[in-house]
Homo-oligomer: A and B are copies of this chain.
Amino acid sequence: MDLVWICVIVGFVGAGVVAYFARYVLRQDQGSKKIRKISSAIKEGGLAFIYREYRTLGIVVAIIAIILAVVPDLGWRMSVAFLFGAICSMGAGYAGMSMALRANGRTCAAAQQSLNQGLRVSFRGGAVMGLTVVSVGLIGLSILYFAWHDLPDFQFLYIIPAYGTGASLVALFSRVGGGIFTKGADAGADLVGKVEAGIPEDDPRNAAVIADNVGDNVGDVCGMGADLLESYVETVIATMTLTTVGVAVAPWVTNLFHGFSAEAALQAAWWLPMLIMAGGIVASIIGCFLVRVGEKIDMSALLAALRRGTLGATILTAVFGFLVIRFLGANLALFWAMLAGLVAGALIGESTNYFTSYAFKPTQEISEASTTGAGATVIRGFATGLMSTWPPIVLIAIAIVVAFQFGNFYGVALACVGMLSTLGVTLATDAYGPIADNAGGITTQAGLPDEVRERTDALDSLGNTTAATGKGFAIGAAAMNSLGLILAFAMAVGIVTVSEGKLILPEALSLLSVPVIVGIFIGAVMPPIFCAMTMKSVGVTTSAIIEEVRRQWREIKGLMEGTAKPEYGKCVDIATRISLRQMLLPSIMTIVAPVIVGVVLGKYALAGFLIGALVTGFILAVTLNNAGGAWDNAKKWIEAGKFGGKGSDAHKASVVGDTVGDPMKDTAGPSLNIMLKLMSVISLMLAPVIMHFDGLI
């Protein structure tokens, strides 16, 4: 039997659990009229954003699909795969987002009953996103497999990168557009409220508050989901692609599946990553059911509940992975390769937590520095961000070395499969965050009793921790994934060849060949430019929103007195339009740059370009994410009463730090993940074309 059927079955089981969770959430009490009203305003805004984004996206996707179909070396199958990838990602994003938009008010209502009930509703809302992504990803890959894996000359391997590229493009729009939206709206709402009118953050007279709530969803749910769906499918794609070199089965595949015929070895090597993912989905489902907590409001109890879920899933995945490798009859070395990735992913999450949680010294020191002013806060936080880059880099380096020793390039890709296999549950804990955050906002706006606010605050605070960890995981996965894609690109483009069972790395790919050096240099400058653009875009969106809120205060009579209502929709609309427009330039640059480098400087320079971008992008993303997270929590630490508490000079300084960190950690940093992966997967997809270009230098 073709074992990929197992993946299909598991995928549908996952979908079934999604349906169960969704039904559970939708059956919950929607809360009071006030809650429903606010929640439905957020829902409308969120859906309006996603509709408009998908419309723009649709045009871009259509254009690229047409190009793929007509370029000689590519063809219609690639075009179809690309479309399919885009549709899968849009579908998963829509499902997760619309569930999150329905879970926020219900979490609010549930928190009126008990903390445990609040956690359950919000977590299950998030789990819908997590399990949808992995189920859709696995089913999509299975469909492609059944459709085309029998095509001659490994054509299948040249088609599937297009599926990844489709998903990648949607992720780009969601992460970058959503990121600009969310922080533009957030900063706009904050600034205009505090600076202009002296009113608190979630005051209903501020027309930008709904846009702010919408932003949490489009950035952290839709964007994060699309990002990780991309990593998920592209990891499998990279692993499959690394089973061949040019038109031959890779030597390591025949070694690792010893005693198999070349054909059987290849088939098993294709099944393996998909089956590990299937095991991971089962483990994630079990993990999701392990998340529960007593009534004590205690961060450590809440954190322990989520930990139980992710840790349980991790252990189960390792066990399933071992069984799968055993069952397929592959070399057990592959288990260690997979485990290296699984462990590295978990430890990267831990190191992120160390550098960004106020339970530890680095963040507490930022709070302390705030007592000497905003400048010191910013410097100390930035230094923390820079310092925090070493554990992820070292962990990934170790994972690469271990995985390579045990499984060569295929092992490196498999390590990444290991890292992402528990995505179902880790993404659930991520997507839970913005739901809880929204619930907190609604609680305030609806004026619910303090007791409820306390519960939603606890949930929200937990969400912040998981968000930081999730971002660390996402960039780690993106880096590993990108490396896998670059290796696959080198094989596909014919840079690397096999002769008598030995891999031949050409001189032109030497680290010291000039095209490679120039490629590395130019690639290295892409992430900083990209970050500069997106960070500036946040500023543009913020300004536009401030202007709109001011206009409403000026023109709507009785608004400040509370007798008239602001036009919330207008703010959402403006943020949507501007963020989508601002997103275009960095997006086009990301899509076009590898093509230009490949054509002008050639395929060797392109390999250097991708590595250069990977290195600076990874360092920059970790720095921005962790500095941002640390500033946020340093502020919270002061708000918890340390160094003078709320309202002190230290607090004011820490607010500046938080303002600086917001666009770094929620826009620029996470967007880099997509940039790295997208440039790599586009190069891989276009390998049949780029292989003809040796470069002009």
Contacts and interface: CB of A to CB of B under 8 A. Distances in A.
A386 B528 contact: yes
Given A384-B532, A521-B393, A532-B387, A401 B656 contact: no
A207 to B, nearest CB: 18
A532 B619 CA distance: 13
A615 B539 contact: no
A59 interface: no
A630 interface: no
A200 interface: no
A389 B386 CA distance: 18
Interface string A353-391: 000000000000000010011111011101110110110
Copies per complex of this chain = 2
Interface string A423-464: 000000000000000000000000000000000000000000
B380 A512 contact: no
A267 interface: no
A389 B529 contact: yes
Interface string A533-562: 101101100110010000000000000000
A533 B387 CA distance: 8
Tell me the dominant secondary structure on chain A's binding face: helix
Nearest to A490: B512
Size band of the interface chain A makes with B: 35 or more
A378 B539 CA distance: 11
Interface string A383-413: 1101101100110110011001100000000
B380 A536 contact: yes
A500 interface: no
Contacts of A525: 389-390, 393-394, 619
Interface stretch (A151-159, A225-233, A502-510, A680-688): A502-510
Given A375-B660, A383-B536, A514 B404 contact: yes
Interface stretch (A98-106, A113-121, A132-140, A604-612): A604-612
B535 A383 contact: yes
A146 B16 CA distance: 83
A23 B673 CA distance: 60
Given A401-B518, A525-B390, A539 B611 contact: no
Given A510-B509, A510-B511, A616-B619, A611 B520 contact: yes
A535 B377 CA distance: 12
A518 B386 contact: no
A117 B385 CA distance: 47
A160 interface: no
A256 interface: no
Contacts of A48: none
Contact of A512 (B372, B397, B505): B505
A505 B496 contact: no
A483 interface: yes
A147 interface: no
Contacts of A393: 521-522, 524-525
A516 interface: yes
Interface string A657-668: 011100110000
A521 B622 CA distance: 13
A56 interface: no
Contacts of A376: 539, 542, 659
Given A505-B507, A509-B512, A524-B616, 14 more contacts: A191-B373, A195-B373, A373-B656, A374-B656, A379-B659, A389-B525, A393-B521, A393-B525, A396-B521, A401-B697, A505-B510, A505-B513, A512-B607, A528-B623
8 contacts: A195-B372, A373-B656, A373-B659, A374-B374, A378-B660, A400-B518, A496-B512, A511-B611
Q: 5 nearest interchain CB pairs?
A: A375-B659, A505-B510, A387-B532, A386-B528, A386-B532
